[in-house]
């Protein structure tokens, strides 16, 4: 009788450690989640890239990757995380960041869209693990979701993940992003593509990238990779157009005299969208108006002086174009 009792106890203990499929339930699967912190700073989080593997594949957690869609297929991803991209969806739909200097990633300065259907994307019945590339977007979104009553963890950035659940990308995938509608305004502030987001639209076969600065500006100040030089002052002015000399109308394209014999098609491709850039956006806006009148699709993306993206090639700071 004593042997039978012992056998029953052992059997019950074994079954309690099995799930419905007969698999052993690990202690990691039943671990309580650590206490949530209000700080959005990754260094204060109890779950990070160092230990996130201990908390994967749980039914009580929603795993959210805030990187772009193409990051998943290019750089890879952590198995179990779903993509809800910040830059490609949440920004502009759920939230608008501050444009004030130094406050772009301050969630308290954000404008949250109260009509956004949070419940369609984020599950209030689960803890939400937020990750991005470095932890910045994750921390920003944590603050917003916490304010809406969610339970969130900033688990950090994929760039720092070295666990066992990484699925590698191919290192080459790039998502072709649809163009926003071109505007008739020549003012860069009205353009949907600017120096601030130009990196999202680089290296496309359906775009001609035109830098209107002088040749020596390229080698002196630097340039954005992929742009070709068609200088305004050193070529287009005088060949394509003559600007007005009347006071206050110098940069008014409606007052310029366009050379009807200029071979536009030799320099500008009508089968592509044309991104125009100069130093500040003035020349780009002026040429945009002329090309628009000729039937081109153009974007004034602004000035190289304001570019702080990842595709800048620096000049030597001393170059001057030799004079004949």
Cα→Cα distances 180→13, 85, 269, 310, Å? 61, 18, 19, 21
Contact by Cβ (8 Å): 184, 75: no
**What are the start and end residues of each CATH 3.40.250.10 domain in the chain?**
35-167, 188-314
Q: pTM higher than 0.85, yes or no?
A: no
- Please provide the distance, in angstroms rounded to a whole number, between the alpha carbons at the two ends of the chain: 110
pLDDT digits (tens, 9 = 90+) for 170-228: 777 666 778 888 999 999 999 999 999 999 899 898 999 999 999 999 988 999 999 99
Which tokens belong to 8?
A: 């029953």
**Which one of 3.30.70.1290, 3.40.1010.10, 3.40.250.10, 3.40.50.720 gives the CATH number of domain 188-314?**
3.40.250.10
Residue count of the chain: 324
Contact by Cβ (8 Å): 38, 108: no
| Cα 284 from chain centre | 24
- What pLDDT was estimated at residue 174? 64
Q: Where does 35-167 sit in CATH, by number?
A: 3.40.250.10
- What pLDDT was estimated at residue 173? 65
Q: Which residues contact 57 (CB under 8 A, 6 or more apart)?
A: 29, 80
Query: CA-to-CA distance for 138 and 84, rounded, in angstroms?
Result: 11
**Residue 214: HSE in the Cβ half-sphere, 13 Å Cα cutoff:** 10
Number of H helices, E strands in the chain: 8, 16
**Which contiguous run of DSSP H or E holds residue 69?**
helix 69-75
pLDDT digits (tens, 9 = 90+) for 3-17: 434 433 334 343 333
Which has the higher per-residue pLDDT, 40 or 18?
40
């Amino acid at each position: 009788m004593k042997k039978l009792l012992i056998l029953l106890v052992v059997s019950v203990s074994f079954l309690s450690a099995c799930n419905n499929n007969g698999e052993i339930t690990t202690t990691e699967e039943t671990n309580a989640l650590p206490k949530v912190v209000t700080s959005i700073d990754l260094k204060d989080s109890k779950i990070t890239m160092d230990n996130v593997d201990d908390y994967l594949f749980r039914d009580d957690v929603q795993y959210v990757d805030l990187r772009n869609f193409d990051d998943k297929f290019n750089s890879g991803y952590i198995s179990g995380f779903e993509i809800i991209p910040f830059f490609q969806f949440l920004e502009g739909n759920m939230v608008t960041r501050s444009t004030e200097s130094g406050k772009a990633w301050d969630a308290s300065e954000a404008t949250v869209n109260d009509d956004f259907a949070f419940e369609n994307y984020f599950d209030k019945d689960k803890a939400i693990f937020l990750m991005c590339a470095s932890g910045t977007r994750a921390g920003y979104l944590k603050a917003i979701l916490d304010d809406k009553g969610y339970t969130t963890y900033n688990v950090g950035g994929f760039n720092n993940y070295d666990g066992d659940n990484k699925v590698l990308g191919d290192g080459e995938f790039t998502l072709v992003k649809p163009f926003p509608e071109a505007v008739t305004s020549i003012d860069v502030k009205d353009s949907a593509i600017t120096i601030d987001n130009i990196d999202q639209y680089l290296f496309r076969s359906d775009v001609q990238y035109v830098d209107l600065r002088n040749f020596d500006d390229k080698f002196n100040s630097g340039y954005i990779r992929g742009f070709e030089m068609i200088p305004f002052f050193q070529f287009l002015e005088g060949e394509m157009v003559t600007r007005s000399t009347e006071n206050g109308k110098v940069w008014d394209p409606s007052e310029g005299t366009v050379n009807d014999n200029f071979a536009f098609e030799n320099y500008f491709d009508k089968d592509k969208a044309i991104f125009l850039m100069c130093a500040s956006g003035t020349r780009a806006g002026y040429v945009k108006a002329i090309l628009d009148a000729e039937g081109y699709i153009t974007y004034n993306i602004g000035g190289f002086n304001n570019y702080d993206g990842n595709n800048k090639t620096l000049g030597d700071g001393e170059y001057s174009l030799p004079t004949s």
